[in-house]
Amino acid sequence: MTTPPTASELGLCLCHSCGLACDMTDAPHECERCGAPLHRRKTNALARTWAYMFTALAFYVPANLLPVMNTKMVGNGADSTIMSGVLEFWEAGAWDIALIIFIASIAVPGIKFVALTLLLVTVHRDSLWARKERSKLYRFVEVIGYWSMLDVIVVALVASLVKFQALADIEPRAGILFFGLVVVFTMLSAMSFDPRMIWDQAPAPSQNEEDMDEVASH
């Protein structure tokens, strides 16, 4: 069973801005509909994806070790990291809020690191393994990436609301800055990766196809 032709085999290139399938026969540099630059593949996609991901990993350590906010109640202040905040909500019986913050702030960045590393390594090795599933994995990484900002939003909202209380005060700490940088750089890493590279390596012919070609040659 023959595989359908790829866009490059048909001389087509998809515009990143408007989604138009552009004819690349005369090697145009711009989309004929919106004027955006055309690239068969994103420029230096692998190098930029690795660079952004390693930068995010570097910020991920202080984001989890440093406090993200300081809570003052009647003059007594205490710093809270992401994990300590999760534990406080859990011990207070708010397990749903604790679970949401844990998933958005700790699990999601970890999943993105693992998924992007898998995609990058398999593309580097020209792997034919589970290409359709890897394409779905990339789309999944894109979808969940924006939810990582939930912790930053929670701290901002809580700090603004508590400001109205006379006996309490909440201030953001350095950890929330590093966590915001983690989110930004993981999003840039996902945006830099070109999922079309998953399909660049042509699949090896099956035994049946080789036998058919041999019969046809005779």
pTM of the model: 0.73
Given CA atoms 152, 155, 156, 158 in this order, what sign does their dihedral have? Answer: positive
CA 86 – CA 135 distance, rounded (Å): 33
Domains of the chain: 1-40 (no CATH), 43-201 (1.20.140)
42 Cβ neighbours under 8 A, 6+ residues apart? 48, 192, 193, 194
| Region for 108 from its dihedrals, namely left if φ exceeds 0, alpha if ψ lies in -120 to 50, beta otherwise | alpha
Of 72, 47, 84, 66, nearest to 189 by C-alpha is 47
Q: What is the pLDDT of residue 105?
A: 78
Residue type, 49: T
73-91, pLDDT tens digit by residue?
555 667 777 788 778 778 8
CA 195 – CA 41 distance, rounded (Å): 9
Which two three-digit tokens encode residue 13?
Answer: 């290139």
Please list the alpha-helical segments (H only) found in the chain.
45-65, 82-91, 95-102, 108-124, 131-145, 150-162, 174-192, 207-217
Residue type, 14: L
CA 137 – CA 148 distance, rounded (Å): 17
Assess whether pLDDT exceeds 70 at residue 39. Answer: yes
pLDDT mean over 147-159:
63
101-149, pLDDT tens digit by residue?
787 778 888 888 999 999 999 988 888 888 889 889 988 888 876 666 6
Q: What's phi and psi for 36, nearest 5 deg? A: -75, 150
Of 57, 65, 53, 66, nearest to 193 by C-alpha is 53
Residue that wins the pLDDT comparison between 137 and 175: 137
pLDDT mean over 33-52:
85
Assess whether pLDDT exceeds 70 at residue 205. Answer: no
Q: What percent of the chain lies above the pLDDT cut of 90?
A: 9
Given CA atoms 90, 94, 95, 101 in this order, what sign does their dihedral have? Answer: negative
Q: What is the pLDDT of residue 21?
A: 84
